[in-house]
Homo-oligomer: A and B are copies of this chain.
Amino acid sequence: MHAANRRIVALAGGVGGAKLADGLAYHCRTNLTIIGNVADDLELWGLRICPDLDTVMYTLAGLANPTTGWGVIDDTFAMLDMLATYGEETWFKLGDKDTATHILRSHWLRQGMRLTEVTQRLTRALGIEATLLPVTDDDVRTIVQTDEGELDFQTYFVARRCEPVLKSVHFRGIERATLTPEVKATIEEASLVVICPSNPFVSIAPILAVENLRARLSLPSPPSLVAKR
């Protein structure tokens, strides 16, 4: 097959996955499609935040913060400081530039655009040549069972810094979630599917669990989602 026609697909979560995706994008350019995780998405103050998609997007746009691994380089936190002045909890560190992404995404979603279309519009505006696709347009949310009860992923991971003892993980909404037409077509046409170095339990697993993408890719059974301490 001619290199120009090779369609490379990368499955990626956040920081680690984004780095490999960035290397692939450098070589494959428009021939790369990244399928991203949405199970750690959250809503804060009516803003839809997609940490994994955004980390991939900012990394490929050359805007990622190399120190934190999340957010936009040289971002500021004036908006968040003002939210704190209003008495709001601000454990999720929304930078000012980052907030523009969430404002636009939320606005476009409320106008009826699919997350796939929103993501396309944002990545194109940032000059990204590769295609970034959320694995699904449906709501899937990672929920962790802990010794302190059920927590959504960002509360466990960011607000509580993984301190509650983890018992199990499940993906709320996964049974009803469907792969997008774009993801299905991409998988059909793929010459190569790369599973990027992202967390297997909370980044890769919720991608592979949508409409049994795992089976479509002829992958073996998932790793155990029950962790021990």
Instruction: List chain B residues, Cβ under 8 A from A223.
Output: none
Instruction: List chain B residues, Cβ under 8 A from A82.
Output: 72, 96-101
A101 to B80 Cα, complex, angstroms: 10
B103 and A45 within 8 A (CB):
yes
User: Is A176 part of the binding interface, using a Cβ–Cβ cutoff of 8 Å?
Assistant: no
User: Is A28 part of the binding interface, using a Cβ–Cβ cutoff of 8 Å?
Assistant: no
Residue of B nearest to A76 (CB): B78
A88 and B76 within 8 A (CB):
no
Interface residues as binary, A74-113 with B (CB distance below 8 Å gives 1, 0 otherwise): 0110111111011110000001111111011011001000
What is the count of identical protomers in the complex?
2
Whether A86 touches B104, Cβ cut-off 8 Å, given contacts A76-B76, A79-B79, is: yes
Residue of B nearest to A43 (CB): B107
B110 and A86 within 8 A (CB):
no
User: Is A125 part of the binding interface, using a Cβ–Cβ cutoff of 8 Å?
Assistant: yes
User: Is A193 part of the binding interface, using a Cβ–Cβ cutoff of 8 Å?
Assistant: no
Residue of B nearest to A84 (CB): B100
Residue of B nearest to A80 (CB): B100
Interface residues as binary, A105-145 with B (CB distance below 8 Å gives 1, 0 otherwise): 01100100000000000100110000000000000000000
Q: Shortest distance in angstroms between A92's beta carbon and chain B's nearest beta carbon?
A: 13
Whether A100 touches B79, Cβ cut-off 8 Å, given contacts A46-B106, A107-B46, A110-B46, is: yes
User: Is A209 part of the binding interface, using a Cβ–Cβ cutoff of 8 Å?
Assistant: no
A87 and B125 within 8 A (CB):
yes
User: Is A47 part of the binding interface, using a Cβ–Cβ cutoff of 8 Å?
Assistant: yes
Instruction: List chain B residues, Cβ under 8 A from A87.
Output: 125
Residue of B nearest to A110 (CB): B46
B104 and A78 within 8 A (CB):
no
A122 to B88 Cα, complex, angstroms: 11
Ordered by A's residue number, 8 sampled pairs between the chains whose C-beta atoms are within 8 Å are: A46-B103, A47-B103, A79-B79, A80-B100, A82-B96, A83-B104, A86-B104, A103-B103
A-B pairs with lowest CB-CB distance, top 5: A82-B100, A78-B96, A82-B97, A46-B107, A45-B107
If A45-B104, A82-B96, A99-B99 are given as contacts, then 12 extra A-B residue pairs at C-beta distance below 8 Å, sorted by A number, are A45-B107, A47-B103, A78-B78, A78-B96, A79-B97, A81-B97, A82-B99, A82-B101, A83-B100, A83-B103, A85-B100, A86-B100
